[in-house]
Amino acid sequence: MASMALALAVVGASLGAIAVTKGVPLWLVTLMAALVFAGGSELLAVGMATSGAAPFAVVLGGLLLNARHLPYGLALGGMLADSGPGGRLFGSHLLVDEAVAFALAESDPHRRRRAYWAAGLTLYAVWAPSVFLGGLLGDGIGDPRALGLDAALPAGLLALVLPALRDRPTLRAVALGSTVAVVLTPVLEEGLPVLCGLFGMVAALPVTTGRSGERPEAGV
């Protein structure tokens, strides 16, 4: 978790530096980091807004990019049922890819809950301060892609979800969703291939053989 938090801090510092050098006020990009807490949509918003995109287009792009959080909530929503209204509201704010991956890596419900809160709170505590610090440092941070640091978070997520791929329906869903996203990446705007990749979930649905007396294959 510490290495993932460090990688997130580097990306956050880069976001702050890039936003400030493109004319976004430091207070605004820092406030966005605290209230939105979604690195991909924040990077998208800064890129679109500083390129002259209309506010509606910026908001729509962020919503499309974060639509993947809907199945996240369906998968983990019950985990926050006993947290009270305030706990559920703040817990849903921490619903990011890394926190979900840490939670789903645990099979025990209590350990899953602790993993989710530990990862979510750690990453939240790192994100906004790193964006603020990056904005203060300006363009000395640069783009994390130049050093390959943007691959650190996806690599960490992949390591966490690999155990779940032993389940055949999950493997089918991941394979189909990944294929759809990769094929559409050169064709669609940023964020849309990931959204379309969610259709891979249909591959996790129970499969019927059409012969009576046989039970369908269990889904996830």
The more confidently predicted of residues 151 and 169 is 169
CB 180 within 8 A of CB 197: yes
Find where tokens 């779940």 sit. 164
DSSP string, 113-178: HHHHHHHHHHHHHHHHHHHHHHHHHGGGS--GGGGTGGGHHHHHHHHHHGGGGGSHHHHHHHHHHH
Determine the pLDDT at residue 212.
46
What share of the chain in percent tops pLDDT 90? 9
Find where tokens 């580097």 sit. 10
Q: Which of 115, 145, 162 is the C-terminal boundary of a domain? A: 162
Determine the pLDDT at residue 121.
92
Report pLDDT digits (tens) over 172-193: 877 888 888 888 888 876 656 7
184 and 101 in one domain?
no
Q: Of 161, 177, 157, 188, whose CA–CA distance to 39 is shortest?
A: 157
CB 5 within 8 A of CB 123: yes
CA 41 to chain centre: 9
157 and 49 in one domain?
yes
Q: pTM of the full predicted structure?
A: 0.64
144 and 76 in one domain?
yes
172 and 157 in one domain?
no
153 and 172 in one domain?
no
Determine the pLDDT at residue 39.
79
134 and 211 in one domain?
no
Residue 106 structure tokens = 């645990």
Q: Which domain holds residue 122?
A: 2-162
Grouping H, G, I as helix, E, B as strand and the rest as coil, residue 207 is coil
Residue 62 structure tokens = 């962020």
172 and 141 in one domain?
no
Determine the pLDDT at residue 169.
77
pLDDT category, 64, cuts 50, 70, 90? confident
What does the mean pLDDT of the chain come to?
A: 76
Domain count, the chain: 2
